[in-house]
Chain A
Amino acid sequence: MTNNVKLELKGISKTFGSIKANTKVDLKLHEGEILAILGENGSGKTTLMNMIAGIYFPDEGQIFIDGKEVTIHSPKDAYNYKIGMIHQHFKLVDVFSASENIVLGVETKAKYDINEVNDAVAAIAERYGFIIDPKKKVHEMSVSEKQTVEIIKVLYRGADILILDEPTAVLTPQEIDKLFSVLRKMKEDGKSIIIITHKLNEVKAISDNVTVLLKGKYVDTVKTADSTESQLTELMVGKKVTLNIDRTEPNNPTDRLVVDNLCSTNEEGIATLDHISFTARSGEILGIAGIAGSGQKELLEAIAGLQKIDAGTVLFNNPKKDKPVTYIHKSYKKVCQLASEGKFHYEDGTKVDFTGMKKKDIVALVNDGKVLFNEDEVIDLRDKTPLEIRELGVRLSFVPEDRLGMGLVGSMDITNNMMLRSYRKGKSFLLNRKNPEALAEEIVHDLEVVTPSIKTPVRRLSGGNIQKVLVGREISYAPKVFMAAYPVRGLDINSSYMIYNLLNKQKESGAAILFVGEDLDVLLELSDRILVINAGKVTGIVDARTTTKEEVGLLMTKHEGINETKEVQA
């Protein structure tokens, strides 16, 4: 690191509508420095970097490169100043090969020859120790391969300033080590690097200096070596906080969901779930870890009845002993059959026998809650639609990864989103909006959702508030199984901890929780057990109280007992 200031920002501000993303931010990056930008979700890190990369244009402020003031009006300008950004959501064209993506937008007079590009890509890869097939199409790549393409793309264009936005979020601990060694090599080459993150251990591991942002404002820049994690946390959150998740011992766990040899294939005929077996217990949080795209989404969707299952069973143990039968409307025949098998009793303990009774009377008996189960009921959820699952009385809640794409409808208001699961109630052709309105008010109040009113389309809310609306609705059904995929992605610290607490509350009330997470630290702290999957296979189920991050990381890349990651690193 030299003392030459490579890049300097002075008084940069940016607003989106009424939201102030950045207010008068200053920043200095030296030549050959690795600068970490630290801040929680929503603190304006990405917006600030996007202004350097030319994606956004600042409302006010100045940018200096090598001491000269510049105006970066578009990504093209940024490239001309040798600035390259690796975005958190990769900017790659799926149907193009690695090389085609890398050469995209390069302006030269030279004739376009993809073979030359392939060679150049291979040369860069060799220099920094990447492994890449230049001809491979992006849609066939793993997440870390895609990231490699992004980095080579920036290097191919000869960038001196590299910006990496949350590059570690999707990587295993071993891949993170690999990435960091590449970054150090680049630093030795004299490149200046900015890395955005909200993970303190990574800041400590890689950076020279740290600039901290809070709510869009510049807080401070400190030398990494001179600061402790708790000091940085305080700067980042703005007040002294203790970030601990209470983990209680599971209370009387019983098997709630038994998944056995579950198999599924996608449209292209590739196996997404490969003989998955595990048991989720009541009153317990089962964390699910794995590299992004290892089958987490497919697993939860298969359980929820949204994926075709090729083989295996998903057995739900409905704790129905001495509880009334509820699903007579749609399954009259089945109820009669179970009654004839002697599965029900009345409140006084006598056996239920429907023989000789009229349908009307039977329905009335069941509807009045007079018919009770003898024992818990086992339901196979396989090949059932979400509606059928619910009509069987299975209280299964699911917070999917893509909140606006799957869990909610962005253009509808909060009330209408509350009705999504309940609108069918009643025989009327028309909707009843009274109860959903009350529920919406309740959730907005209890979970502190920041919104102008319950009539606001949820798309207009911030990520954290959208998630609160979704989780609030799913919890309101008093679930027996609660599944959540990346429930804190994009949320600030306070919202994240609120979600963790809600999960813990569900656990205490006896639900079986399936929690798919990407942050291993959180998974280790929150879960009781962790199920690790890779390429659709279970590679291990470990006790979260005793395992280590490294052990989980190795399981995440384990293939059929051979540890490839270790070989690569050797």
Chain B
Amino acid sequence: MKKEKMNEPKEPLFHVLKRANVPAWQTWVIRLSAIVVSILICSLLAFLIIGASPLKFLGALFDGTFGTSLRIWKLLKGTAILAGISLALVPAFRMHFWNTGAEGQVLIGMLAAVACIMAFRDTIPNGLLVVIMLIASVLAGMLWGFIPAFFKANWNTNETLFTLMLNYVATYLVKYFLIKWTPNGSSTIGRLKYGMLPTILNDYLLVILVIIVMVAIMHVYLNYSKHGYEISVVGGSVNTARYIGINVKKVIIRTMCVSGAICGIVGFLIVSGLDHSITAESVGGQGFTAIMVAWMANFNPILLLFSSFLVAFLNQGSGEIQTVFNVSDAFPSIVIGIVLFFVIGCEFFINYRIVFRKKEDK
């Protein structure tokens, strides 16, 4: 019986085929529709769970981001910081080095900056202090990038978990120093009025401009410099890189130092230009979000301005929803999670197509 059934021709319902060259405009249509659909689904979920009508949901989303000029500036600041962190990840990812340690690299940069303030605050002028802070942050970030790269280059140690563990090491280092710096046991250092960057127009513009300049430099570095070329070769094929005489170890270590240094600069900008303080949660998971941002931008420094804008928009907008509807502060990460699922999933429709098969007449 079973055998006979097997011999009957059965038609598959559909078949998946790889797509050849898809025009660029089509890929963007697919990605944009995924984003729109996912936001609509979020609003639907919000309606079912917290009873917010979709109109109110979308209203709050845009009100929280574009409602006042301060909110717009905050959105731009959020975009800039996120773009800065994912910018740091891009060279490492292009080399296929899975740096999941941006969180710790930024935090250690912040810690170095704050440590400089603590050490020199009343002894040297502000301008000099800012310069020293910048150097210290860059070096600290570099160190946090160098350590995993050194072991990856020499013994192929798993960099994903290594950098991840270093995040926690950085977190506890911050906690240790916070205890040390606060003899009263409060473990919070408050707003430090030292080592502040000058401001243009408002607190945010200078930081935003610095990030934009860094994006431009990185674009040139990756696409037009010999270093950038070496990164692409190592990422494309380690054996080819060895074959043409590239010192692969050197490239891995150098690139991760660049990656860590940029994280350090971002850490410095946060301390010196924005927060003027530090806690163990100062980076707040942006190091992870930056990984998605870089991936969505296809590791392209210019495109990541747009992907970080999207994520910053969702983050700030759903934060507004959270306050308006008085729900848990975890709400933004749920919304971002759902949207990212759709953005990741929609790549399928860019790379593959489904062919439904019709039965032919015999």
A–B contact with Cβ pairs below 8 Å: the answer is yes
Q: Is the CB of B9 within 8 A of A411?
A: no
Q: Is the CB of A386 within 8 A of B245?
A: yes
Residues 245-273 of chain B: 1 if any A CB is under 8 Å from the residue's CB, otherwise 0?
Answer: 11100000000000000000000000000
Q: Is the CB of A304 within 8 A of B12?
A: no
Residues 416-460 of chain A: 1 if any B CB is under 8 Å from the residue's CB, otherwise 0?
Answer: 100111011000111100000000000000000000000000000
> Contact check: which of A73, A409, A424 meets B226 at CB < 8 Å?
A424
Let me know if A218 is at the binding interface, CB within 8 A.
no
Residues 197-213 of chain B: 1 if any A CB is under 8 Å from the residue's CB, otherwise 0?
Answer: 00000000000000000
Complex: A435 Cα to B12 Cα, angstroms: 52
Nearest chain A CB to B201's CB is how many angstroms away? 34
Residues of A within 8 A of B240 (CB): 405-409, 420
Nearest chain B CB to A484's CB is how many angstroms away? 14
Let me know if B356 is at the binding interface, CB within 8 A.
no
Nearest chain B CB to A40's CB is how many angstroms away? 24
Let me know if B243 is at the binding interface, CB within 8 A.
yes
Q: Is the CB of A70 within 8 A of B7?
A: yes
Contact residues of B between 221 and 247, Cβ < 8 Å to A: 224-227, 229, 232-233, 236-237, 239-240, 242-247
Residues 11-26 of chain B: 1 if any A CB is under 8 Å from the residue's CB, otherwise 0?
Answer: 1100100111000000
Of B7, B18, B360, most A-chain CB atoms within 10 Å:
B7
- In this complex, the interface size class of chain A, counting residues with CB under 8 Å from chain B, is 35 or more
Nearest chain B CB to A56's CB is how many angstroms away? 10
Residues of B within 8 A of A407 (CB): 240, 243
Residues of B within 8 A of A410 (CB): 236-237
> Contact check: which of B20, B233, B244 meets A386 at CB < 8 Å?
B244
Residues of B within 8 A of A400 (CB): 243
Residues of B within 8 A of A424 (CB): 226
Nearest chain B CB to A458's CB is how many angstroms away? 10
Q: Give the residue name and chain of the B residue nearest to A73 (CB).
A: B12
Please judge, given known A-B contacts A402-B239, A405-B240, A406-B240, whether A60 and B225 are in contact too, CB under 8 Å. Answer: no
Let me know if A69 is at the binding interface, CB within 8 A.
yes
Let me know if B191 is at the binding interface, CB within 8 A.
no
Of A16, A404, A411, A430, most B-chain CB atoms within 10 Å:
A430
Q: Is the CB of B245 within 8 A of A405?
A: no
Q: Is the CB of A430 within 8 A of B226?
A: yes
Residues of A within 8 A of B229 (CB): 416, 419, 423, 431
Contact residues of B between 33 and 68, Cβ < 8 Å to A: none
Q: Give the residue name and chain of the B residue nearest to A404 (CB).
A: B237
Nearest chain B CB to A343's CB is how many angstroms away? 26
Complex: A304 Cα to B240 Cα, angstroms: 13
Residues 382-393 of chain A: 1 if any B CB is under 8 Å from the residue's CB, otherwise 0?
Answer: 000111111000
Nearest chain B CB to A396's CB is how many angstroms away? 11
Residues of B within 8 A of A306 (CB): 242-243
Q: Give the residue name and chain of the B residue nearest to A390 (CB).
A: B245
Residues of B within 8 A of A406 (CB): 237, 239-240, 243
Residues of B within 8 A of A402 (CB): 239
Let me know if A68 is at the binding interface, CB within 8 A.
yes
Please judge, given known A-B contacts A409-B233, A419-B229, whether A17 and B243 are in contact too, CB under 8 Å. Answer: no
Complex: A408 Cα to B246 Cα, angstroms: 13
> Contact check: which of B11, B15, B226 meets A423 at CB < 8 Å?
B226
Let me know if A71 is at the binding interface, CB within 8 A.
yes
Q: Is the CB of B225 within 8 A of A431?
A: yes
Residues of A within 8 A of B19 (CB): 17
- In this complex, the interface size class of chain B, counting residues with CB under 8 Å from chain A, is 20 to 34
Nearest chain A CB to B221's CB is how many angstroms away? 9
Complex: A409 Cα to B134 Cα, angstroms: 38
Complex: A16 Cα to B352 Cα, angstroms: 12
Q: Is the CB of B226 within 8 A of A429?
A: yes
Q: Is the CB of A71 within 8 A of B9?
A: yes
Q: Give the residue name and chain of the B residue nearest to A74 (CB).
A: B12
Let me know if B6 is at the binding interface, CB within 8 A.
yes
Q: Is the CB of A60 within 8 A of B9?
A: no
Nearest chain B CB to A171's CB is how many angstroms away? 27
Q: Is the CB of A409 within 8 A of B237?
A: yes
Q: Is the CB of B360 within 8 A of A405?
A: no
> Contact check: which of A16, A69, A73, A419 meets B18 at CB < 8 Å?
A16
Complex: A17 Cα to B355 Cα, angstroms: 13
Contact residues of A between 66 and 92, Cβ < 8 Å to B: 68-71, 73, 77, 80
Please judge, given known A-B contacts A70-B9, A429-B225, whether A386 and B239 are in contact too, CB under 8 Å. Answer: no
Q: Is the CB of B243 within 8 A of A386?
A: yes
Please judge, given known A-B contacts A73-B12, A420-B244, A430-B226, whether A409 and B7 are in contact too, CB under 8 Å. Answer: no
Complex: A416 Cα to B245 Cα, angstroms: 16
Residues of B within 8 A of A420 (CB): 233, 240, 244
Nearest chain B CB to A378's CB is how many angstroms away? 22
Nearest chain B CB to A202's CB is how many angstroms away? 33
Q: Is the CB of B244 within 8 A of A60?
A: no
> Contact check: which of A16, A80, A390 meets B6 at CB < 8 Å?
A80
Q: Is the CB of B11 within 8 A of A71?
A: yes
Contact residues of A between 314 and 335, Cβ < 8 Å to B: none
Complex: A386 Cα to B242 Cα, angstroms: 8
Complex: A18 Cα to B239 Cα, angstroms: 30
Nearest chain A CB to B76's CB is how many angstroms away? 31
Let me know if A278 is at the binding interface, CB within 8 A.
no
Residues of A within 8 A of B233 (CB): 409, 412, 420
Please judge, given known A-B contacts A398-B243, A404-B237, whether A17 and B18 are in contact too, CB under 8 Å. Answer: yes
Q: Is the CB of B9 within 8 A of A69?
A: yes
Nearest chain B CB to A433's CB is how many angstroms away? 9
Residues of B within 8 A of A430 (CB): 220, 224-226
Q: Is the CB of A57 within 8 A of B226?
A: no
Nearest chain B CB to A117's CB is how many angstroms away? 24
Residues of B within 8 A of A68 (CB): 7
Q: In the A-B complex, list the 9 residue pairs whose CB atoms are closest, starting with the nearest.
A: A387-B245, A409-B236, A17-B20, A386-B245, A71-B9, A406-B239, A420-B244, A411-B236, A406-B243
Interface residue ranges, A against B (CB under 8 Å): 16-18, 57, 60, 68-71, 73, 77, 80, 304-306, 385-390, 398, 400, 402, 404-412, 416, 419-421, 423-424, 428-431
Mind listing 15 A-B residue pairs with CB under 8 Å? A16-B18, A17-B19, A70-B9, A71-B11, A73-B12, A306-B243, A386-B244, A406-B240, A406-B243, A409-B233, A409-B240, A411-B236, A416-B229, A423-B229, A431-B225
Apart from A386-B243, A430-B224, 5 more pairs, CB < 8 Å: A16-B18, A73-B12, A400-B243, A406-B239, A430-B225
